[in-house]
Amino acid sequence: MIHPTLVEAQEVGDGNLNLVFKIFDTTGVSRIVVKQALPYVRCVGESWPLTLDRARLEAQTLVAHYQALPAAYGEKSTISTLNWR
Strand 30-37 versus strand 40-41 pairing type = unpaired
Protein fold of 4-84: Phosphorylase Kinase; domain 1 (3.30.200)
How many residues can be counted in the chain?
Answer: 85
Contacts of 43 (CB under 8 A, 6+ apart): 16
Per-residue pLDDT of the chain (85 residues; tens, 9 = 90+): 666 677 889 999 787 889 999 989 888 888 788 999 999 998 898 999 999 999 999 999 989 988 887 677 777 788 877 777 6
The pLDDT, as a whole number, for residue 30 is 81
The pLDDT, as a whole number, for residue 2 is 65
Q: Tell me the whole-structure pTM to 2 decimals.
A: 0.68
